[in-house]
């Protein structure tokens, strides 16, 4: 797991709990991974929150 994903592990856990039992862990992980890639270059201290917000927006937009 790369460092960005390691920091995002808490976000994955929170998103899975928030979105409920019908949510695929693989989909959430992939969405968080994509958010990490898209936000590369953002301030490191802000990344965890930015990644979680972007992933949440993408996951709920598909719902």
Per-residue pLDDT tens digits for 6-58? 778 999 999 999 999 999 999 999 999 999 999 999 998 888 999 999 999 99
In angstroms, the Cα distances linking 62 to 12, 24, 39, 44 are 17, 13, 20, 27
**What would the two tokens of residue 28 be?**
């959430």
Question: What are the domain boundaries of the chain?
Answer: 3-61
Q: Can you give the three-state secondary structure of 1-63, one letter per residue?
A: CCHHHHHHHHHHHHHHHHHCCCCCHHHHHHHHHHHHHHCCCCCHHHHHHHHHHHHHHHHHHCC
Which value, in Å, is the radius of gyration of the alpha carbons in the chain?
11
Instruction: Give the predicted TM-score (pTM) of the model.
Output: 0.86
């Amino acid at each position: 797991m790369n460092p960005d994903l390691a920091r995002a592990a808490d976000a994955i856990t929170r998103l899975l709990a928030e979105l409920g039992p019908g949510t695929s862990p693989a989909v959430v992980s992939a969405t968080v991974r994509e958010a990490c890639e898209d936000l590369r270059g953002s301030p490191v201290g802000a990344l965890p929150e930015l990644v979680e917000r972007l992933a949440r927006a993408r996951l709920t937009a598909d719902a």
